[in-house]
Amino acid sequence: MKRTTYSIAAICDKAGRSVNQDNFWICPDLSAFSQTGQTTFVDSKTEIELSEKGALFVVADGMGGMSAGEIASQLVIDSIKQSFTTLDTQLLDNHKAIQQFISQSIIDADAKIKEHAKSNPDTAGMGSTIVLLWIFQDNVFVGWCGDSRAYCYNPQNSLVRLTHDHSYVQELVDANKLPEALAFDHPHSNIITRSLGDSGEVPLPEVMQYPLHNGDTFLLCSDGLCGLLRDGEIEEILSNNTASVSDSLKSLWQEGQTIGWTDNATIEIIKILNGGIDPSPQAKGYALKQEAIEQQSTPAPDSKKSHKKHKALILISVLALIIGFLFGGVLVHYIIPFTNSSPKSIVNDSSQVVTPIDTLSMEKTIMEETTDSMPKKSTPITKPKAKSPSKDPVVAQPIQPTPPKDTLDSLTPTTNMRNLLTPIIDTTVAQE
C-alpha cells in the first residue's frame, strides 16, 4: 500500500463568547489508540504517517445554558473515544460496516447526553452537534448530525462541502423554496433540525464516503466559523495558504477576528502531503463513491417532531389562503360596479385568483416582515452573539437578542436554535 502522510493544525476557542461550549478531538493514530486508549500529541510541523486503522478528527458544538452545552459536547467526545477503543479490525475490510459503525457511534453519543440529562435535571435541554472525519487507506468517511461542517479543498478543484446541514434553511433550499444566495443571511438560519441530546427525538446521523486525493486539505469546523465566513471566503483563504496547515489556520482565525467573532469557534485542518489518488477535474465534488446512511428508526407519525417539521409549511399555506381571500375580496368589491358580468362569474374569477401562491414569494415576504423586527442575523436565546473586532481572542459580554414580532416556534421545525449558516456553493455534493 502506498505510504500516506499528512499534517494537522487545530484551535478551539471561546472567541466571541464568555464560555466555550465547543469541544474537539484529534486522534492521529487509531491503531495506537485502540491499544492504549491514549492520544499522541503532534504539532502542525510534524509529518504524520497514516497508520493501519487511520486517523480520526471530531468537532462537537454544544448547546444549552448554565454550562450544559459544554457538558454535552464533552460527553460527545468521550463517547466517540469509547466507541473507537473497541474498533474491530475485521470491520475494516467492509466499507459498509465502517459507515454503520460511525452511525452507531454517533447514536451512542446521543444516548450518553440523554442519560446524563436524566440523572442531572439541571442540565436538561442540553445538546450538541457533531462532525467527524475518518481517514482510512484511500478513503475518507464523514459522519455528522447538525450544522457543524466538513470541507475539502484541493488546488485541482474548488472547495467542496462534504456535509449537508441539518437545518431549517437548508430544507428550504433543498425544496427550492429559497435561493442558496439568500440562505446565509436568512433571519432563521440559526435553526437546526437534528442534534444529539434532543429529548424525545431519535438521532438521524448521516454518513458519507469519499475517495482520498493527493493534496487534499480537509477543514472541520463549528458554525462559529462557517456562520461568519461564506464558503467563497473560506476557499480564498485556503487557496492563498497552501504552504502549511498552520498558515491556513492562522489566516482563517485572523479573518474571523477582523470581522468580529460572534460565537465559539473550532477549526481543524488536515492536509494530505502524500498519498491518495491523483486529483483531476473529473474528481470535482469527490463523488466517485458516495453512500448515505440514514437510521431506519423514525419517530411515530403523531410525534412532536412530525408536527415541527410541518409547521413552516402549514403557516405558509394558511398565509397563502388568507392573502388569496383578501385579494379576492378586493376584486369583488371593486370590479363588480365596473363589469357586466354576473356575481356568479365574478366569484368564479376570484376563485381562480385564490390558487396556491408561489412559495418562494411567500418565503421572501416572510423574510421581509421578520427582518424588520429582528437583527439581520438572528440568534438563539441560549447562544447570544457579541461582536469582537479586536485582533486577539477576548471575552465578550453576552447580549440579549431582540425577539421577533412573530412567534418563532410557529415558523420552525425544531426548538434547537443555532447560529448562522452559509449557502452550499458546490451543488455536486449528494443529497440525503
Q: Give the CATH number, domain containing residue 149.
A: 3.60.40.10
**What's residue 196's pLDDT?**
97
**What's residue 190's pLDDT?**
84
- The answer to whether residue 52 is domain-embedded is yes
What total number of domains does the chain contain?
Answer: 1
Distance CA 286, CA 283 (A): 5
Burial class of residue 368 in the structure, from the number of CB atoms within 10 Å of its CB (0-12 exposed, 13-18 middle, 19+ buried): exposed
**What's residue 328's pLDDT?**
57
What long-range pairs does 64-68 form, CB within 8 A, spacing at least 24?
A: 64/21, 64/123, 64/125, 64/126, 64/127, 64/382, 65/125, 65/382, 66/122, 66/123, 67/19, 67/21, 68/122, 68/123, 68/125, 68/126
- The answer to whether residue 189 is domain-embedded is yes
- The answer to whether residue 165 is domain-embedded is yes
By the 8 A CB rule, do 16 and 386 touch?
yes
**What's residue 77's pLDDT?**
98
**What's residue 200's pLDDT?**
80
299 half-sphere exposure, CB direction, 13 A CA radius: 17
**What's residue 167's pLDDT?**
95
* Statement: the pTM of the whole predicted model exceeds 0.85: no
10-residue stretch averages of pLDDT, the chain, 432 residues long: 91 95 97 85 90 97 87 98 91 95 98 95 94 97 98 92 96 94 89 92 94 96 96 97 95 97 97 92 48 37 36 54 60 46 31 35 44 36 34 34 37 35 32 34
DSSP character string of 126-172 = -EE-EEEEEEETTEEEEEEESS-EEEEE-TTS--EE-S---BHHHHH
DSSP character string of 328-392 = HHHHHHHHGGG--S-HHHHHHHHHHHSSPPPHHHHHHHHHHHHHTTS-SS---TTS------SSS
**What's residue 13's pLDDT?**
97
- The answer to whether residue 242 is domain-embedded is yes
**What's residue 248's pLDDT?**
97
**What's residue 144's pLDDT?**
98
Distance CA 72, CA 370 (A): 31
Question: Which domain covers residue 88, as residue numbers?
Answer: 5-283
C-alpha cell read off for 308: 415541527
**What's residue 89's pLDDT?**
86
Reduce the DSSP state of residue 62 to 3 states and report it. strand
**What's residue 63's pLDDT?**
93
- The answer to whether residue 102 is domain-embedded is yes
Q: How far is CA 341 from CA 334, 344, 345, in A?
A: 13, 8, 6
- The answer to whether residue 19 is domain-embedded is yes
